[in-house]
Amino acid sequence: MSRLTISIFSESRAGILNKVSSAFSRRKINILSLTASECEVEGIFRYTLLVEDDESKIRKMVLQLEKQVEVVKAFYHFEEELVSQELALFKIPTSSMTNGNAEKIIREHNARFLTIEQDYAVVEKTGFRAEIQALFDELAPLGILEYASSGRVSISKPETNIQSYFNQEVLGEKISRRISI
Protein backbone atom coordinates (compact mmCIF):
# COMPACT_ATOMS: atom_id res chain seq x y z
CA MET A 1 0.00 0.00 0.00
CA SER A 2 1.31 3.42 -0.93
CA ARG A 3 0.00 6.90 -0.34
CA LEU A 4 -0.30 8.35 -3.82
CA THR A 5 -1.45 11.65 -5.22
CA ILE A 6 -3.14 11.49 -8.59
CA SER A 7 -3.27 14.57 -10.81
CA ILE A 8 -5.65 14.58 -13.73
CA PHE A 9 -5.67 17.35 -16.32
CA SER A 10 -8.82 17.44 -18.39
CA GLU A 11 -11.02 19.60 -20.53
CA SER A 12 -13.53 21.51 -18.46
CA ARG A 13 -16.95 19.94 -19.11
CA ALA A 14 -19.98 18.83 -17.11
CA GLY A 15 -19.69 15.17 -16.22
CA ILE A 16 -15.92 14.75 -16.18
CA LEU A 17 -15.85 14.40 -12.41
CA ASN A 18 -18.38 11.59 -12.75
CA LYS A 19 -16.07 9.86 -15.21
CA VAL A 20 -13.07 10.31 -12.97
CA SER A 21 -14.80 9.11 -9.83
CA SER A 22 -16.35 6.09 -11.54
CA ALA A 23 -12.86 4.91 -12.50
CA PHE A 24 -12.13 4.78 -8.75
CA SER A 25 -15.42 3.31 -7.58
CA ARG A 26 -15.28 0.57 -10.22
CA ARG A 27 -12.06 -0.68 -8.61
CA LYS A 28 -13.23 -0.03 -5.05
CA ILE A 29 -10.52 2.55 -4.49
CA ASN A 30 -11.48 4.98 -1.76
CA ILE A 31 -10.74 8.63 -2.50
CA LEU A 32 -9.23 10.23 0.62
CA SER A 33 -9.42 13.77 -0.70
CA LEU A 34 -10.31 15.56 -3.87
CA THR A 35 -9.65 19.04 -5.15
CA ALA A 36 -10.62 20.52 -8.48
CA SER A 37 -9.30 23.77 -9.85
CA GLU A 38 -8.22 25.56 -12.98
CA CYS A 39 -4.61 25.14 -13.98
CA GLU A 40 -2.06 27.24 -15.83
CA VAL A 41 -3.45 26.22 -19.21
CA GLU A 42 -6.64 27.89 -20.31
CA GLY A 43 -9.73 25.69 -20.33
CA ILE A 44 -7.96 22.79 -18.62
CA PHE A 45 -9.08 21.62 -15.19
CA ARG A 46 -6.85 19.96 -12.68
CA TYR A 47 -8.14 17.30 -10.30
CA THR A 48 -5.94 16.28 -7.39
CA LEU A 49 -6.91 13.10 -5.58
CA LEU A 50 -5.29 11.35 -2.67
CA VAL A 51 -5.53 7.57 -2.39
CA GLU A 52 -3.91 4.74 -0.50
CA ASP A 53 -3.52 1.59 -2.57
CA ASP A 54 -1.12 -0.64 -4.49
CA GLU A 55 1.03 1.26 -6.91
CA SER A 56 0.46 -1.22 -9.76
CA LYS A 57 -3.32 -0.90 -9.39
CA ILE A 58 -3.07 2.89 -9.39
CA ARG A 59 -0.67 2.92 -12.33
CA LYS A 60 -3.14 0.91 -14.43
CA MET A 61 -6.03 3.09 -13.36
CA VAL A 62 -4.14 6.26 -14.22
CA LEU A 63 -3.56 4.88 -17.72
CA GLN A 64 -7.27 4.14 -18.02
CA LEU A 65 -8.05 7.68 -16.88
CA GLU A 66 -5.63 9.14 -19.36
CA LYS A 67 -7.41 7.20 -22.10
CA GLN A 68 -10.63 9.14 -21.50
CA VAL A 69 -11.29 11.34 -24.49
CA GLU A 70 -11.34 14.61 -22.52
CA VAL A 71 -8.43 13.81 -20.26
CA VAL A 72 -5.24 15.43 -21.49
CA LYS A 73 -2.83 13.78 -19.09
CA ALA A 74 -2.88 11.97 -15.77
CA PHE A 75 -0.05 11.35 -13.31
CA TYR A 76 0.51 9.75 -9.95
CA HIS A 77 3.18 10.76 -7.46
CA PHE A 78 4.64 9.51 -4.21
CA GLU A 79 4.68 11.85 -1.20
CA GLU A 80 8.36 12.78 -1.59
CA GLU A 81 7.82 13.90 -5.19
CA LEU A 82 5.35 16.60 -4.21
CA VAL A 83 4.93 19.87 -2.42
CA SER A 84 1.41 19.83 -1.08
CA GLN A 85 -0.72 21.84 1.28
CA GLU A 86 -4.21 21.77 2.66
CA LEU A 87 -6.31 24.59 3.98
CA ALA A 88 -8.62 24.49 6.97
CA LEU A 89 -11.09 26.99 8.42
CA PHE A 90 -12.13 26.94 12.05
CA LYS A 91 -15.06 28.84 13.52
CA ILE A 92 -14.46 29.34 17.24
CA PRO A 93 -16.41 31.28 19.87
CA THR A 94 -14.97 34.77 20.41
CA SER A 95 -15.23 34.05 24.14
CA SER A 96 -12.52 31.38 23.78
CA MET A 97 -10.03 34.18 23.25
CA THR A 98 -10.98 35.98 26.43
CA ASN A 99 -11.70 32.90 28.56
CA GLY A 100 -9.03 30.67 27.10
CA ASN A 101 -5.72 31.06 25.29
CA ALA A 102 -7.04 30.57 21.74
CA GLU A 103 -5.18 33.57 20.42
CA LYS A 104 -1.83 32.24 21.64
CA ILE A 105 -2.52 28.79 20.16
CA ILE A 106 -3.41 30.32 16.82
CA ARG A 107 -0.26 32.42 16.75
CA GLU A 108 1.93 29.44 17.69
CA HIS A 109 0.44 27.40 14.86
CA ASN A 110 1.03 30.14 12.31
CA ALA A 111 -2.68 30.34 11.63
CA ARG A 112 -4.47 33.63 11.08
CA PHE A 113 -7.77 35.30 11.77
CA LEU A 114 -9.95 35.96 8.75
CA THR A 115 -12.70 37.67 10.68
CA ILE A 116 -13.58 38.39 14.29
CA GLU A 117 -17.24 39.03 15.09
CA GLN A 118 -18.94 39.62 18.38
CA ASP A 119 -19.85 35.92 18.84
CA TYR A 120 -17.35 34.05 16.74
CA ALA A 121 -14.09 34.25 14.88
CA VAL A 122 -12.92 32.43 11.75
CA VAL A 123 -9.35 31.18 11.64
CA GLU A 124 -7.45 29.96 8.61
CA LYS A 125 -4.66 27.41 8.77
CA THR A 126 -2.66 26.27 5.75
CA GLY A 127 -0.24 23.39 6.05
CA PHE A 128 0.21 19.68 6.09
CA ARG A 129 -2.61 17.49 7.29
CA ALA A 130 -0.73 16.75 10.53
CA GLU A 131 -0.26 20.46 11.28
CA ILE A 132 -3.94 21.13 10.75
CA GLN A 133 -4.78 18.20 12.98
CA ALA A 134 -2.46 19.53 15.68
CA LEU A 135 -4.25 22.88 15.67
CA PHE A 136 -7.60 21.13 15.71
CA ASP A 137 -6.58 19.08 18.76
CA GLU A 138 -5.53 22.16 20.69
CA LEU A 139 -8.60 24.22 19.80
CA ALA A 140 -11.07 21.42 20.40
CA PRO A 141 -11.17 21.75 24.21
CA LEU A 142 -11.97 25.46 23.81
CA GLY A 143 -14.90 24.64 21.53
CA ILE A 144 -14.95 24.51 17.74
CA LEU A 145 -18.28 25.72 16.33
CA GLU A 146 -17.55 24.66 12.78
CA TYR A 147 -14.64 23.13 10.91
CA ALA A 148 -13.97 22.66 7.22
CA SER A 149 -10.88 21.69 5.32
CA SER A 150 -9.91 21.39 1.67
CA GLY A 151 -8.47 18.41 -0.09
CA ARG A 152 -4.80 18.56 -0.85
CA VAL A 153 -3.39 20.92 -3.43
CA SER A 154 -0.14 19.65 -4.91
CA ILE A 155 2.64 20.65 -7.22
CA SER A 156 5.11 18.01 -8.38
CA LYS A 157 8.79 18.71 -7.61
CA PRO A 158 10.57 17.66 -10.81
CA GLU A 159 10.37 19.68 -14.03
CA THR A 160 6.67 19.11 -14.45
CA ASN A 161 5.68 16.77 -17.22
CA ILE A 162 2.40 18.50 -17.80
CA GLN A 163 4.15 21.70 -18.77
CA SER A 164 6.39 20.03 -21.27
CA TYR A 165 3.32 18.25 -22.59
CA PHE A 166 1.50 21.51 -23.09
CA ASN A 167 4.54 23.11 -24.66
CA GLN A 168 4.44 20.54 -27.42
CA GLU A 169 2.41 21.07 -30.50
CA VAL A 170 -0.56 18.76 -30.30
CA LEU A 171 -2.25 18.10 -33.63
CA GLY A 172 -0.55 21.15 -35.04
CA GLU A 173 -2.38 23.43 -32.66
CA LYS A 174 -0.28 25.37 -30.18
CA ILE A 175 -2.08 25.35 -26.92
CA SER A 176 -2.25 28.88 -25.60
CA ARG A 177 -0.69 29.30 -22.19
CA ARG A 178 -2.66 31.43 -19.85
CA ILE A 179 -0.65 34.52 -18.95
CA SER A 180 -3.01 36.33 -16.66
CA ILE A 181 -2.47 34.01 -13.67
Q: Which is nearer to another protein, 25 or 99 (CB)?
A: 25
The piece of 56-64, 79-87, 89-97, 156-164 that touches another protein (CB under 8 A) is 56-64
State the Cα–Cα distance between residues 72 and 65, nearest whole angstrom. 9
Q: Does residue 60 touch another protein according to CB under 8 A?
A: yes
Q: Candidates 5, 6, 7, 10: give the one binding another protein (CB under 8 A).
A: 10
Q: Candidates 15, 28, 98, 137: give the one binding another protein (CB under 8 A).
A: 15
- Binders of another protein among 98-157, rule CB under 8 A? none
Binding characters for another protein, 159-178, by CB under 8 A (x = yes): -----------xx-x-x---
Q: Is 58 in the site for another protein (CB under 8 A)?
A: no
Q: Does 180 bind another protein (CB under 8 A)?
A: no
Indicate which single residue of 3, 11, 114, 177 sits in contact with another protein (rule: CB under 8 A).
11
Query: Does 28 sit near another protein (CB under 8 A)?
Result: no
